[in-house]
Structure 1
Amino acid sequence: MTTVPRVHIHMTVSDLEKSRRFYERFLGVTPVKVKPGYVKFLPEFGPLNLVLADGQPGPGRGSVDHIGLQVDTREEVVRQLQRVQAAGLPVREEFGVDCCHANQDKFWVQDPDGVDWEVYVLNHDLEDESPAVTPSGCGLDLLKPSACCAPSTT
């Protein structure tokens, strides 16, 4: 039997309690471990092991443009979207968008430290690799768009 490995993401956050509340709502689960300065989540959807650590990000530690959780179907995107909306988080929906050389259905949220998260399904790859092909839309208005997914200005 093959198991799918969990991706471990360790994030330093500026306000641990505020981030904990956000991720409880976004992921739809309570932490599996809470220690002073440390919170760990193992959500049911997505092979994710997310750890939040109290502190301030230091210089030279790199940056993340956004983190995506890919699901298998449009129905799963909608199910997660409805759950996140019911939890009261602001979201931006993007269905049928051309982004990052693919057509996708997705939604975006942003955590208290400005980390952008997307939950998406890949509908199909786009064959045209011309730089003239611009995405029809990607990212939250609240977010800084990534280089590959900047909203079209034409």
Structure 2
Amino acid sequence: MTYVHIGLHVKCLKESRAFYERFFGVTPVKEKGNYVKFLTDSPALNLTLKEVETFEGKQINHLGVQVDSAADVLFHKTRLEKVGFFAREEMDVNCCHAIQDKFWVTDPNGIEWEYFYTKEDVE
């Protein structure tokens, strides 16, 4: 399998580990000192977290998971709400030159994640 790799610096490894464990619904595959690694099948992601002493500014605009249908968006929204997330919903929005259904959650470091489905492209 081919994975997209994202490495994040985090303020508190314990909080971030708990967030991503619930967000993706998997446990880490590796934990060493100030480092945690997740491998997920859907999406195919290699996510690493490294706790750092100095953490300043917003280094990432946002991250997202594109799914195949509006039903998939609602499935993941319900799944995450059941484990305690607040999901900010946006349906039929014009974003990124497309009509999309989506929702957002925010990790402990202020990084926003969206699950989204693109209904159609717009000019």
Q: Normalised by the size of structure 2, how large is the TM-score?
A: 0.92
> CA distance change for structure 1 residues 93 and 58 in 2, over 3 Å: closer, same or farther?
closer
Aligned-CA RMSD value: 1.7
Q: Which has the higher contact order (CA 8 A, sep 6+)?
A: 2
The equivalent residue for 2:47 is 50
* Distance (whole Å) between structure 1 residues aligned to residue 81 and residue 10 of structure 2: 23
The equivalent residue for 2:63 is 67
The equivalent residue for 1:113 is 109
Identity of aligned residues (%): 46
The answer (yes or no) to whether the contact 1:12–1:56 under 8 Å persists in 2 is no
Larger radius of gyration: 1
Tell me the SS of whatever aligns to 1:42.
Answer: strand
When structure 1 is superposed on structure 2, of 7-16 and 69-78 the one drifting more is 69-78
> What is the deviation of 1:44?
3.0
Flag as ranges the 4+ runs of structure 1 deviating above 6 A.
none
The answer (yes or no) to whether the contact 1:18–1:112 under 8 Å persists in 2 is yes
Q: Normalised by the size of structure 1, how large is the TM-score?
A: 0.74
**Aligned equivalent of 2:93, options 93, 97, 100:** 97
Instruction: Report the count of equivalent residues.
Output: 123
Unpaired runs of at least 5, structure 2: none
The answer (yes or no) to whether the contact 1:28–1:83 under 8 Å persists in 2 is no
Tell me the SS of whatever aligns to 2:80.
Answer: helix
* Distance (whole Å) between structure 2 residues aligned to residue 99 and residue 68 of structure 1: 13
